[in-house]
Amino acid sequence: MTEYILVGGGGFARELYDWFTPSLTASGSRFIGYLDDGSAPMQAYGHTLPQLGRIVDYRPNPAHRLVMAVGSPAGKQKITGILGTQQFASLIHPTAWVSASACIETGAVIGVFADISANATVRQFATVNGYSSVGHDAELGPYATLSGYVDLTGNSKVGTASFIGSGARLLPHVHVGERCTVGAGSIVVRSTQNDVTMYAPPARRL
């Protein structure tokens, strides 16, 4: 039996717990708790999963596998700077479709009904939220995060530690640089430099 520990106790951690508990249980594995520097954040929502301590206080245990349960790219980088990378597992939800030719690196999380297509690459500690897709030959960089319902089309690329908001889309061959933010609902039609923030026009009353 593999014992998993969620690293993070916020909303995304609660989602991961709900998504993956049935399949882990079916395979004889389980979440045994979570690490967070806050004061019992999951218990505030009625969760019974125990907080095992602060992230900074965790000591490696070969019996455990850690799961990155933080969506913030900067937060993920900070955590691996504290804990290292060796104990982290990649989790792929059973409802996700992952091509046999795709590459999923250490610490990645692939959510419900995600689609990782032919020769796509999901780098270390990248997050693909539910119903998002990484098209053929596309690349999601290290520590980057796709929110729900994001579409990376063929040959597109998201750089290291960038964040793509819900419902956004990158057109084919478009590259988003490192540490960029793409707002919810945005359609990125041309490649960007590093450290760029892009937002679509907000909804307006007619």
Contact of 51 with 9, CB cutoff 8 Å: yes
CATH number of the structural domain 3-83: 3.40.50.20
Say how many residues make up the chain.
206
Please give the pLDDT value at position 27: 95
Q: In which order are the strands placed within the sheet that holds 169-170?
A: 97-98, 115-116, 133-134, 151-152, 169-170, 187-188
Q: Taking the domains of the chain in order of start, what are their residue ranges?
A: 3-83, 90-200
In the predicted model, what is the mean pLDDT of the chain?
Answer: 96
pTM for the full predicted model: 0.94
* Rounded distance between C-alpha atoms, residue 176 and residue 33, angstroms: 35
Strands 3-7 and 163-164: unpaired
More confident residue, 116 or 201: 116
Kindly indicate the confidence band of residue 40, based on its pLDDT and cuts at 50, 70 and 90.
confident
CATH number of 90-200: 2.160.10.10
Q: Is the pLDDT of residue 145 over 80?
A: yes
Res. 188: pLDDT tops 80 = yes
pLDDT of residue 200: 83
